[in-house]
Amino acid sequence: MTASKTLQVNRTGVLWSAVYGRYLVAGEAVTAHAILIEELPFAVGPKCNGPVLCLACYRTDGVDHCALCGWPLCGECATEESNEHFRGECEIFKSARARFYPLPAGAAHCPQLDCIMPLRVLLAKEAQPDRWLNEVAPMEHHEGARRMNADVWHADRVNIAQYLRGPCKLGSRFSEELIMQVVGVLEVNAFEARTTHGYALRCLYPYTGILAHNCVPNTARSIFPSEGYKIRLRAMVDLKEGQQLQHSYTYTLDGTSQRQTHLREGKYFNCSCERCCDATELQTNFSTLKCGQCVDGWLLAKQPLSDETSWHCRCCDFSTSNEDVQKTIAALQAEVNVAQALEMGPKRLEECERLLRKYKSLLHPLHFIATGLRQLLIEMYGRVQGYEMATLTDTLLERKAELCRQVLRILNVFEPGLSRTRAMNLYELHVPLVLLAKSGFIANTLGGAELRSRLVEAIDLLRECVDILQHEDKGSQEGVLCLVAKQAMEQLTMSVDGLGNELE
């Protein structure tokens, strides 16, 4: 497979800096939603630290074994000789008589499968030497930083490098140094994807993988399992020629300290983007706490990028240490985790509402913990027993709508434009707006013109939702929601047209 076939669309350029290393820029001015890159993966395979799964379709249930090598395959994939397993590692395991050992009862992680994705990269290196040399070999693997985590480094060396060179008899083909380089490339650069049935895996995209990070990204990626896990990178917003392309390698709705920790431990760098350097996180106060010593004060980090920062109130002289702040945040997050672990139902919803009320005296209203609780509540209102959409009172419908607006207020800043999370919240918002409008019309508190205006507002939300999600794989959760939103938009449009005829 040549580079010309794997990189199918490329409207970008590659530059280098001491800060970013290699990074991508827009090769021309583009409008929002424009495709910047289409790339096929160099390799695909299971994630690290995962369960026993089928090495072809990645399902975790109904897993049997390959009749040729004895490694995990489901019954359906065992008969498909063209799948990834048979094209790759099967012959190696069979020839070397490298046995797969079932997990002991109660074990969740199967370390023996951690070698699969690195092995597939190594085999792709042999099959695509030019692509390896020009695209994969230069990728960052942070060997020095990874070596400092001695326990993880030793586990990877034993479970992957020494296993492949020893029991798998590949010592003459691949050096330990090369294998550990591949492990690092994957850890730093691989993207998580989902199969058409929703099972998790990871993919390595040598070109797209050199995107620079920013906590307010200007690109969005979508992976298409139905097209060989092709990745499409699109502009979230309008971009100028030569503008740096940026993606978020952390969870956008985490606070600054949490994002920095994730990037430092998983990607081996610190972020100094505008959002991270600003204690208010672009005026959202996403990490701001309530001052405990005055009525109107808010605590903000004096030096947001430093673990040794102090936190100061903007209204009084009170200050506290970052250690104390992070202890408070950890305690609150632990409470949220307990609530989130509850079975989906009324108790879970009510506990989230209780925590949100409790934290009013501790957190800024838009704090990331409060925002996370709102997102959980949005997903539960209308779906759990006792809170089904058809049974929600007008007060609870207004509640859901307000929760959506508050989360969208944050997303407008951190994920402007082409954002899947934004699209899902737009869809969630349109439902209570429609029900409230119809309820008001039935109760004679809304006239026909006002009803029409409210429904048009809901149609606009759905139109934007569809506009975002139309770029997703049709079989994905987002692709299915796009179809549902499109149908809802068409039905509402018919209702509005009918109202227009009645009002004329």
Beta bridge partners of 204: 43
Chain Cα centroid distance, residue 307: 25
Architecture of domain 3-41+205-247 in this structure: Beta Complex (2.170)
- Strands 72-74, 21-26: pairing kind: unpaired
How far is 346 from 383, CA to CA, in rounded Å?
10
Q: What pLDDT does residue 21 have? A: 87
> What does the block give as tokens for 315?
């209204």
Q: What pLDDT does residue 3 have? A: 41
Q: What pLDDT does residue 489 have? A: 97
Task: Identify the CA nearest to 170 among candidates 139, 126, 140, 133.
Answer: 126
Q: What pLDDT does residue 108 have? A: 85
Q: What pLDDT does residue 502 have? A: 63
Residues of the chain with CATH 2.170.270.10: 3-41+205-247
Q: What pLDDT does residue 18 have? A: 86
pLDDT tens string, the chain, 504 residues long: the values are 334 468 888 999 999 998 888 999 999 999 999 999 999 999 999 999 999 999 999 999 989 999 999 999 999 999 888 899 999 999 999 999 999 998 887 788 999 999 999 999 999 999 999 999 999 999 999 999 999 999 999 999 999 999 999 999 999 999 999 999 999 999 999 999 999 899 999 999 999 999 999 999 999 999 999 999 999 999 999 999 999 999 999 999 999 999 999 999 999 999 999 999 999 999 999 999 999 899 999 999 999 999 999 999 989 989 999 999 999 999 999 999 999 999 999 999 999 999 999 999 999 999 999 999 999 999 999 999 999 999 999 999 999 999 999 999 999 999 998 999 999 999 999 999 999 999 999 999 999 899 999 999 999 999 999 999 999 999 889 999 999 999 999 999 999 988 766 655
Q: What pLDDT does residue 259 have? A: 97
Q: What pLDDT does residue 317 have? A: 86
Asked if 275 and 216 count as a contact pair (C-beta separation under 8 A), the reply is yes
Task: Identify the CA nearest to 40 among candidates 297, 296, 230, 215.
Answer: 230
> Which residues, other chains included, contact 209 with Cβ-Cβ below 8 Å and sequence gap of 6+?
139, 189, 190, 191
State the SS3 of 330-354.
HHHHHHHHHHHCCCCCHHHHHHHHH
Q: What pLDDT does residue 189 have? A: 95
Q: What pLDDT does residue 1 have? A: 36
